[in-house]
Structure 1
Amino acid sequence: MELKQLLYFKEIANQKSITKAAEQIHISQPALSKSIKSLEEELGTPLIIRTNKTMDLTDAGKTVLEYTQKITSLVDEMKLTVSDLTNLSVGELNIGLPPFIGSLFFPEVMKNFHRSYPNIKLDITEYGGARVVKSVEEGEFELGVAVLPLDERIFNVYPIVKEKMKLIVQKDHPLASYSKVNVKDLRDEEFIFYHEDFALNQIIRNHFFTIAGFEPKILFKSMQWDLMSELVAADLGVTILPESICNRLFTKDIQIIDLEPTIMWKLAVITRKGKYISNAGRKFIDFILTDPL
C-alpha cells in the first residue's frame, strides 16, 4: 500500500467521481481506476460502489477514508515540522474561514500580515462555521476561525471578536419603532435564518429560542448576509445579524434593533490541541492577538 493510493482514494471521496478526481490530480481515469482497484485487492474488500453517474463509499471505504484523513494530517504535520527546522523565514499556512467572517474582517488582516511576513503563503478556504471546526479537528486546516462556544478540551481558543447580535426588521414592521425587543415577542415572526452549515444556526437556536421556549418559523435559509438583509428589506421576514454586519447595511428599508436577552457573537482563532503548530501559525496567532480586529 502506498501513500499515493490513499491520496487518490481521498480525492475520489471528496469529488464523489473518479472522472472529476482524475482531472483534479492530473492523471488518466484508467490509471486512477487501476490504482484504486489495486488498493481494494490489497485490502480484500470493495471501497467504492460504482454507478453510471456517481459513486458512494462502502462501509469499508468510509473506514479507509477516516484513517486516510488521519494519515495525511500526520504527513502534513511532519512536513511543517521539518520545514520549521530547516527554514524559519518562509512557511505556508492553511486557514479555514466562514464566509461571514472572512468578508468582514480578514482582507485587512491578510494585507497587514502579508506586509509583515511576505514569505509566508496563506492558503484560505471558506467553509460554513460548523465545517471549519470539524476540519480543524480532523487536521485539514492548521488554524480556523470559529464562533464560540466550543469544546476547549479539543481546541486551543484565542478570542478575537466579541459583539452584540441585533434584530433586523423591515422599516414598516410593527416592531420597527422599538428600541429593544424581547425574544419572546418574536414567537409569531417568520425568520430569514442561517443555513445549517453556519455555527450561528445552532448557537442562536440553543442559546436564544430554546430559552425563550419556542421554535422559530423559518421562511428562508441563506449563506449570504447581504441576501438575508435584502429579504428583510423586501418584508419577507426578520433576521438576527452581528453588529459589525449591521454596520455595513446601507439599505434604508430596514430597522436595526437591540435584543434582550443580549446574544453575544464571539469569534476566536482555533487550533486542535495536541497538534503541532508551525512557526507560520504561531506568528499568525501572535499577529492577530496583538493587532485586534
Structure 2
Amino acid sequence: MTDKELLYIRAVAEERSISKAAQKLFITQPSLSQCIQRIENTLGTRLFTRTSSGLTLTYAGERYCQIAGQILRIYNDFELEVSDINNLKKGRVTIGITTYMSTYFLPSILPAFHRLYPNIEVYVLEETSTQLERDLGSGRLDFALSHLSPPPENVPADNVEFRPLHQDPFVLTVPPGHPLCRDAVQYPGEEFPRIDLLRFAQEPFVMVTRGQRIRKISDMILGKAQINPPIVLSTKSFETARRLAAQGMGVTFTPRQYLDIFPGHYPGEYYCIDPLYHPYWTLGIGVLKSGYLSRAAQSLIEMICGMFADKSQQNYDHEEMEEKLFPPSSS
C-alpha cells in the first residue's frame, strides 16, 4: 500500500470513472485499470462496483480508503519523528552499568547530557558485569560501561567491540598503622607507596564474593603472587570489605576509582601493588559489532569518552570525535 495507490483509489471514487480519473491523474486509462486490478487481486476482493451512476466503492473499498489514510498519516508522523530522532529532539538510550559504577559515573555525566538533550530518555540497567555482557550480546542494551580483567583472563565476546577508556589499578587496603607496611616505598609517579604483597601471605583477607569481577581479579593477583592467605569473610559489597579492612578485620583489594565513591568514611591506608601481578582492570564501553547505534547513544558515548580525555583535549571537535569513535565502514 502506497500513497500513490491510495490517491488512485480516491480519484476513481471521486470521479466514478476510470477514464475521468486517469485524465485527472495524467496517466493512461490502461495503466490506472491495471493498478486497480493489481490492488484488488492482492486483497482478494473488489473495491468498486459498477452502477448506473458509475463506479462506487464497495464496503471493502470504503474501508481500504479509511485504513490506508490512517496508515499513511501514521507513516507521515513516523517520518517526522525519525527526523526529530536524527536531530536529537527525541529518542531513548538504554545503557548497562554496574551499581557502584552507576554511583560513580552517572551523576558526573547524565545531568550535562540531559541539559543538552532534554527530550532524550535514558534508561539505566544496573546488573553485574557478567549479566551486562549477556544483555549486550542479546541486543537489550545500546551499550554497556563495564570493566575487563587483564588479558588473557577476560576478553570480550566475539560479537562485542570493547573500547577501552581507562586502566584502573587495584590497591591494597589495610588498617592505619599496619606493621607490615613500615617498609613501603614511594615510587615517583605513583599515588600511594608500594608494598611487597608477599609480606601478606599469612594475613587474613576480606574479599568480595566469588563470581564478581573484583573477586576474579583479586584471586588473579594472589595467584600471580603465588600466595594463598586465609579469607576471613566474603561480602557482595566492595565498600563493606574496604571498611572492614580499615577497621582491622583484615586486608582487601580495592579498585582505585572506587575509593572516591565514599570518601572520608572509615579511612584506611592504601598501597600500590607491584605491576608484575597485573593489579588492574580496564574500564571501557562495550557495543555490538554489528549493532545499530542511534545518534543519541553516540552522543552519550562521546560525552563519556570526553570525561577520560586528556585535559588539553577537553575542547574536542564534535565531528572529529564522532569520526574517531565511529569510523565510516570500509565497505
Structure 1 partner of 2:218: 204
Alpha carbons of structure 1 residues 210 and 111: separation in structure 2 relative to 1, 3 Å: same
1:278 aligns with 294
Q: Counterpart of 1:156?
A: 161
Identity of aligned residues (%): 20
The corresponding residue for 1:269 is 285
Shift of 1:145: 1.0
The match for 2:112 is 112
Unaligned runs of 5+ in 1: 1-81
What secondary structure sits across from 1:235 in the alignment? Answer: coil
Q: 2: distance between equivalents of 1:237 and 1:146?
A: 28
What amino acid does structure 2 have at the position aligned with 1:174?
P
Map 1:73-222 → 2, pairs under 5 A: 87-88=85-86, 89-149=89-149, 150-151=155-156, 153-177=158-182, 178=184, 179-206=193-220, 208-222=221-235
Contact 2:217/2:279 (8 A) holds in 1: no
2-structure distance, mates of 1:188, 1:84: 62
Compared CA separation, residues 166 and 83, structure 1 to 2 (3 A): farther
Distance 1:190 1:135, change over 3 A: farther
Secondary structure of the equivalent of 2:109?
helix
**Equivalent residues of 1:136, 1:271 under 8 A apart:** yes
One-letter identity of the residue aligned with 1:183: L
Q: Is the 8 A contact 1:91 1:279 kept in 2?
A: no
Q: Secondary structure at the match of 1:156?
A: strand
1:188, distance to aligned residue in structure 2 (A): 1.6
Segments of 4+ in structure 1 off by > 4 A? 82-86
| Distance in 2, Cα, partners of 1:144 & 1:198 | 17
2:304 to 266, 282, 288: 288
Q: CA deviation at 1:196?
A: 3.3
Q: Which structure 2 residues correspond to residues 221-236 of structure 1 after superposition, within 5 A?
A: 221-236=234-249
- Using structure 1 for the length normalisation, give the TM-score: 0.64
Give the aligned partner of residue 240 of structure 1.
Answer: 253
Shift of 1:216: 4.7
Partners of 2:129 and 2:269 in 1: CA distance: 27
Deviation at 1:92, TM superposition (A): 0.9
The one-letter code matched in structure 1 to 2:118 is P
Cα shift at 1:252: 6.0
8 Å contact kept, 1:93–1:123:
yes
Change in Cα spacing, 1:143 to 1:242, as seen in structure 2 (3 Å) is: same
Letter in 2 for 1:111: P
Structure 2 unmatched ranges of 5 or more: 1-79, 150-154, 185-192, 310-331
* SS of corresponding position for 2:179: coil
Q: Within 1, Cα distance between the matches of 2:172 and 2:303?
A: 33
Cα distance, 1:223–1:104 mapped onto 2, change above 3 Å = farther
The 1-side partners of 2:250 and 2:106 are apart by 29
Deviations 1:13-46 (A, max 9, x none): xxxxxxxxxxxxxxxxxxxxxxxxxxxxxxxxxx
Q: For 1:199 and 1:83, locate their aligned partners in 2 and report how far apart those are by CA, in whole Å.
A: 41
Deviation at 1:197, TM superposition (A): 4.6
Larger radius of gyration: 2
Match of 1:45 in 2: none
Query: Secondary structure at the residue paired with 2:93?
Result: strand
C-alpha deviation, 1:118, in angstroms: 1.3
The Cα offsets for residues 43-66 of structure 1, whole Å up to 9 and x where unpaired, read as xxxxxxxxxxxxxxxxxxxxxxxx
Question: Which amino acid in structure 1 is aligned with residue 286 of structure 2?
Answer: I
Contact preservation (8 Å) 1:181, 1:258? yes
Deviates more, 1:115-124 or 1:183-192: 183-192
CA contact (8 A) 2:247 2:268 kept: no
Greater mean alpha carbon deviation, residues 209-218 or residues 140-149: 209-218
Aligned CA distance change for structure 1 residues 252 and 124 (closer, same or farther; 3 Å):
closer
| Structure 2 CA distance for partners of 1:197 and 1:141, relative to 1, 3 Å | farther
Instruction: Count the aligned residue pairs.
Output: 211
Contact 1:246 1:256 in 2 (8 A): no
Supply the distance in 2 between the matched residues of 1:197 and 1:99 (Cα, whole angstroms).
15
Equivalent residues of 2:132, 2:144 under 8 A apart: yes
Asked if 1 retains the 8 angstrom alpha-carbon contact of 2:136 and 2:142, the reply is yes
